[in-house]
Amino acid sequence: MKLNYKLQGDGQPIVFLHGVFGSLDNLNMLAKNFEQHYQTVQVDLRNHGHSPWSDKITYQAMAEDLVELCYDLKLKDIILVGHSMGGKVALQLSQMLSDSIQKIVAIDIAPIKYHRSANATILRVLMYCLDNQITDKKQIVNLMEQVGINMPTILFLLKSFKNDKWLFNIEAINSQYGHICDWQNISPWLKPTLFIRGGNSSYITNETYPVIFEQFPNAKIEVVEDAGHNVHAEKTPQVLQLLHNWIEE
Protein backbone atom coordinates (compact mmCIF):
# COMPACT_ATOMS: atom_id res chain seq x y z
CA MET A 1 0.00 0.00 0.00
CA LYS A 2 1.35 3.43 -0.99
CA LEU A 3 1.10 5.63 2.11
CA ASN A 4 0.72 9.40 2.21
CA TYR A 5 3.71 11.09 3.81
CA LYS A 6 5.45 14.44 4.31
CA LEU A 7 9.19 14.79 3.81
CA GLN A 8 11.24 17.64 5.29
CA GLY A 9 14.95 18.38 5.69
CA ASP A 10 18.08 16.38 4.88
CA GLY A 11 20.31 13.97 6.74
CA GLN A 12 19.64 10.84 8.77
CA PRO A 13 15.95 9.93 8.47
CA ILE A 14 13.57 10.06 11.42
CA VAL A 15 10.20 8.45 10.65
CA PHE A 16 7.24 9.64 12.77
CA LEU A 17 4.20 7.38 13.23
CA HIS A 18 0.93 8.55 14.79
CA GLY A 19 -1.63 6.73 16.94
CA VAL A 20 -5.18 5.57 16.23
CA PHE A 21 -7.61 8.30 15.02
CA GLY A 22 -4.57 10.45 14.17
CA SER A 23 -2.66 11.64 11.14
CA LEU A 24 0.86 12.63 10.15
CA ASP A 25 0.42 16.08 11.72
CA ASN A 26 0.00 14.64 15.23
CA LEU A 27 3.75 14.48 15.87
CA ASN A 28 4.41 17.77 14.10
CA MET A 29 5.66 19.42 17.29
CA LEU A 30 8.44 16.81 17.40
CA ALA A 31 9.20 16.57 13.68
CA LYS A 32 9.57 20.32 13.15
CA ASN A 33 12.20 20.45 15.88
CA PHE A 34 14.38 17.90 14.04
CA GLU A 35 13.96 18.89 10.40
CA GLN A 36 16.87 21.36 10.44
CA HIS A 37 19.46 18.62 11.03
CA TYR A 38 17.62 15.43 10.00
CA GLN A 39 15.35 14.22 7.24
CA THR A 40 11.90 13.91 8.83
CA VAL A 41 9.28 11.60 7.36
CA GLN A 42 5.77 12.00 8.76
CA VAL A 43 3.42 9.22 7.69
CA ASP A 44 -0.34 8.69 7.50
CA LEU A 45 -0.84 5.04 8.46
CA ARG A 46 -3.41 3.03 6.49
CA ASN A 47 -7.04 4.06 7.15
CA HIS A 48 -5.85 7.43 8.48
CA GLY A 49 -5.25 10.89 7.04
CA HIS A 50 -4.85 10.80 3.27
CA SER A 51 -3.54 7.22 3.02
CA PRO A 52 -5.65 4.49 1.38
CA TRP A 53 -8.30 2.59 3.29
CA SER A 54 -8.35 -1.16 3.88
CA ASP A 55 -10.49 -3.65 5.80
CA LYS A 56 -7.31 -5.00 7.40
CA ILE A 57 -5.56 -3.26 10.30
CA THR A 58 -2.92 -5.52 11.80
CA TYR A 59 0.59 -4.62 12.91
CA GLN A 60 2.02 -6.94 10.29
CA ALA A 61 0.04 -5.18 7.53
CA MET A 62 0.87 -1.69 8.80
CA ALA A 63 4.54 -2.58 9.12
CA GLU A 64 4.57 -3.98 5.57
CA ASP A 65 3.25 -0.62 4.36
CA LEU A 66 6.19 1.10 6.07
CA VAL A 67 8.70 -1.37 4.62
CA GLU A 68 7.44 -0.46 1.14
CA LEU A 69 7.72 3.26 1.91
CA CYS A 70 11.23 2.96 3.33
CA TYR A 71 12.35 1.00 0.27
CA ASP A 72 10.74 3.54 -2.07
CA LEU A 73 12.51 6.42 -0.29
CA LYS A 74 15.77 4.41 0.00
CA LEU A 75 16.00 5.13 3.75
CA LYS A 76 18.99 3.84 5.73
CA ASP A 77 20.05 4.18 9.39
CA ILE A 78 16.44 4.95 10.24
CA ILE A 79 15.27 6.28 13.60
CA LEU A 80 11.61 5.37 14.22
CA VAL A 81 9.45 7.47 16.55
CA GLY A 82 5.93 6.16 17.11
CA HIS A 83 3.14 7.10 19.51
CA SER A 84 0.64 4.51 20.79
CA MET A 85 -0.48 2.41 17.79
CA GLY A 86 2.33 3.99 15.77
CA GLY A 87 4.75 2.91 18.48
CA LYS A 88 3.65 -0.69 18.08
CA VAL A 89 4.10 -0.40 14.32
CA ALA A 90 7.66 0.83 14.95
CA LEU A 91 8.34 -2.09 17.31
CA GLN A 92 6.95 -4.55 14.75
CA LEU A 93 9.30 -3.09 12.12
CA SER A 94 12.26 -4.25 14.23
CA GLN A 95 11.50 -7.72 12.88
CA MET A 96 11.25 -6.65 9.25
CA LEU A 97 13.74 -3.81 8.70
CA SER A 98 16.31 -4.64 11.35
CA ASP A 99 19.37 -3.89 9.21
CA SER A 100 17.99 -0.50 8.14
CA ILE A 101 16.85 0.68 11.60
CA GLN A 102 19.30 2.28 13.99
CA LYS A 103 17.02 3.17 16.92
CA ILE A 104 13.34 3.01 17.90
CA VAL A 105 11.31 5.30 20.16
CA ALA A 106 7.93 4.09 21.45
CA ILE A 107 5.89 6.84 23.10
CA ASP A 108 3.55 5.61 25.84
CA ILE A 109 2.99 2.12 24.51
CA ALA A 110 4.36 -1.29 25.46
CA PRO A 111 4.77 -4.48 23.42
CA ILE A 112 1.81 -6.13 25.14
CA LYS A 113 -1.84 -6.95 24.48
CA TYR A 114 -4.23 -4.40 25.97
CA HIS A 115 -7.45 -5.92 27.25
CA ARG A 116 -9.40 -2.80 28.17
CA SER A 117 -10.16 -0.29 25.46
CA ALA A 118 -9.83 3.34 26.47
CA ASN A 119 -11.40 4.15 23.09
CA ALA A 120 -14.61 2.10 23.39
CA THR A 121 -16.75 5.17 24.12
CA ILE A 122 -15.17 7.11 21.26
CA LEU A 123 -15.87 4.27 18.82
CA ARG A 124 -19.51 4.01 19.95
CA VAL A 125 -20.09 7.71 19.30
CA LEU A 126 -18.27 7.64 15.96
CA MET A 127 -20.25 4.61 14.79
CA TYR A 128 -23.49 6.29 15.92
CA CYS A 129 -22.62 9.40 13.92
CA LEU A 130 -21.70 7.29 10.91
CA ASP A 131 -24.83 5.12 11.05
CA ASN A 132 -27.09 8.17 11.46
CA GLN A 133 -25.20 10.30 8.93
CA ILE A 134 -24.51 13.02 11.51
CA THR A 135 -22.09 15.52 10.00
CA ASP A 136 -22.89 18.69 11.96
CA LYS A 137 -19.76 19.48 14.00
CA LYS A 138 -21.68 21.10 16.86
CA GLN A 139 -23.95 18.06 17.17
CA ILE A 140 -20.94 15.72 17.14
CA VAL A 141 -19.29 17.71 19.92
CA ASN A 142 -22.50 17.64 21.99
CA LEU A 143 -22.81 13.87 21.61
CA MET A 144 -19.21 13.36 22.68
CA GLU A 145 -19.58 15.64 25.69
CA GLN A 146 -22.76 13.81 26.75
CA VAL A 147 -20.87 10.51 27.09
CA GLY A 148 -17.98 12.08 29.00
CA ILE A 149 -15.32 12.49 26.32
CA ASN A 150 -13.09 15.36 27.44
CA MET A 151 -12.54 18.44 25.32
CA PRO A 152 -8.83 17.83 24.54
CA THR A 153 -9.79 14.43 23.09
CA ILE A 154 -12.70 15.95 21.14
CA LEU A 155 -10.43 18.61 19.66
CA PHE A 156 -7.89 15.93 18.75
CA LEU A 157 -10.55 13.88 16.94
CA LEU A 158 -11.90 16.93 15.11
CA LYS A 159 -8.48 17.50 13.52
CA SER A 160 -9.44 14.55 11.30
CA PHE A 161 -12.92 15.90 10.47
CA LYS A 162 -12.71 17.83 7.19
CA ASN A 163 -15.50 18.92 4.84
CA ASP A 164 -18.11 17.03 6.88
CA LYS A 165 -16.15 13.77 6.61
CA TRP A 166 -13.84 11.80 8.88
CA LEU A 167 -10.39 11.20 7.43
CA PHE A 168 -10.02 7.94 9.33
CA ASN A 169 -11.93 4.78 8.43
CA ILE A 170 -14.35 4.41 11.36
CA GLU A 171 -15.84 1.09 10.25
CA ALA A 172 -12.46 -0.58 9.75
CA ILE A 173 -11.05 0.74 13.03
CA ASN A 174 -14.15 -0.44 14.88
CA SER A 175 -14.15 -3.93 13.33
CA GLN A 176 -10.37 -4.34 13.66
CA TYR A 177 -9.93 -2.76 17.08
CA GLY A 178 -9.11 -6.14 18.60
CA HIS A 179 -6.03 -6.28 16.35
CA ILE A 180 -5.04 -2.74 17.38
CA CYS A 181 -5.14 -3.78 21.05
CA ASP A 182 -3.38 -7.08 20.32
CA TRP A 183 0.31 -7.94 20.25
CA GLN A 184 2.27 -11.07 19.41
CA ASN A 185 5.58 -11.27 21.29
CA ILE A 186 8.56 -10.86 18.97
CA SER A 187 12.14 -12.10 18.91
CA PRO A 188 14.50 -9.98 21.04
CA TRP A 189 15.76 -6.87 19.21
CA LEU A 190 19.15 -5.90 20.51
CA LYS A 191 19.48 -2.36 19.18
CA PRO A 192 18.71 0.74 21.31
CA THR A 193 15.03 1.29 22.05
CA LEU A 194 13.59 4.13 24.09
CA PHE A 195 10.19 3.90 25.78
CA ILE A 196 8.74 7.23 26.95
CA ARG A 197 6.08 6.76 29.60
CA GLY A 198 3.51 9.33 30.68
CA GLY A 199 3.59 9.37 34.47
CA ASN A 200 -0.22 9.56 34.72
CA SER A 201 -0.85 7.03 31.95
CA SER A 202 -1.64 3.34 32.42
CA TYR A 203 -0.30 2.23 29.03
CA ILE A 204 3.15 1.50 30.50
CA THR A 205 3.28 0.32 34.10
CA ASN A 206 5.99 -1.13 36.31
CA GLU A 207 4.45 -4.55 35.65
CA THR A 208 5.12 -4.24 31.92
CA TYR A 209 8.85 -3.58 32.36
CA PRO A 210 9.90 -7.29 32.32
CA VAL A 211 7.96 -7.86 29.08
CA ILE A 212 9.60 -4.82 27.51
CA PHE A 213 13.10 -5.95 28.44
CA GLU A 214 12.38 -9.52 27.30
CA GLN A 215 11.68 -8.32 23.76
CA PHE A 216 13.97 -5.26 23.79
CA PRO A 217 16.93 -6.11 26.05
CA ASN A 218 18.69 -2.79 25.36
CA ALA A 219 15.62 -0.70 26.12
CA LYS A 220 15.66 2.45 28.19
CA ILE A 221 12.47 3.63 29.89
CA GLU A 222 11.98 7.31 30.71
CA VAL A 223 9.02 8.64 32.72
CA VAL A 224 7.62 12.12 32.10
CA GLU A 225 5.80 13.12 35.27
CA ASP A 226 2.35 14.76 35.25
CA ALA A 227 1.68 13.61 31.69
CA GLY A 228 -0.99 11.34 30.28
CA HIS A 229 -1.10 9.16 27.19
CA ASN A 230 -0.46 12.08 24.82
CA VAL A 231 2.75 12.90 26.63
CA HIS A 232 4.39 14.38 23.51
CA ALA A 233 1.63 17.00 23.23
CA GLU A 234 1.27 17.68 26.96
CA LYS A 235 4.97 17.92 27.77
CA THR A 236 6.61 18.71 24.42
CA PRO A 237 9.80 20.37 25.75
CA GLN A 238 10.52 17.45 28.10
CA VAL A 239 9.91 14.86 25.38
CA LEU A 240 12.10 16.78 22.91
CA GLN A 241 14.90 16.90 25.47
CA LEU A 242 14.66 13.15 26.01
CA LEU A 243 14.71 12.54 22.25
CA HIS A 244 17.71 14.78 21.61
CA ASN A 245 19.68 13.33 24.51
CA TRP A 246 19.01 9.78 23.39
CA ILE A 247 19.33 10.18 19.62
CA GLU A 248 22.55 12.17 19.86
CA GLU A 249 24.30 10.09 22.52
Secondary structure (DSSP) of 70-92: HHHTT--SEEEEEETHHHHHHHH
pLDDT of residue 116: 65
- Give the model confidence (pLDDT) of 98-141 as tens digits: 999 999 999 999 999 997 677 899 999 999 999 999 999 999 99
pLDDT (mean) for 167-176 = 96
- Whether residue 20 is predicted with pLDDT greater than 90 in this model: the reply is yes
Question: pLDDT exceeding 70 applies to what percent of the chain?
Answer: 100
84 is catalytic: yes
When mean pLDDT is compared across 42-46, 147-151, 214-218, the lowest value belongs to: 147-151
Task: Given the residues 18, 48, 83, 229, select the one marked as catalytic.
Answer: 229
Task: Given the residues 84, 94, 201, 232, select the one marked as catalytic.
Answer: 84
Please report, to the nearest 10 degrees, the dihedral formed by the alpha carbons of residues 78, 83, 88, 90 taken in order.
-10
Give the predicted TM-score (pTM) of the model: 0.96
229 is catalytic: yes
pLDDT of residue 115: 79
Question: pLDDT exceeding 90 applies to what percent of the chain?
Answer: 97
Neighbours of 98 (CB within 10 A): 12
Sequence-ordered alpha helix ranges (H) in the chain: 28-34, 59-72, 85-93, 120-131, 137-146, 151-158, 170-175, 177-181, 209-215, 231-234, 236-247
DSSP 8-state code for residue 145:
H
For the chain, domains (ranges, CATH) are 5-116+176-247 (3.40.50.1820), 120-175 (no CATH)
pLDDT of residue 74: 96
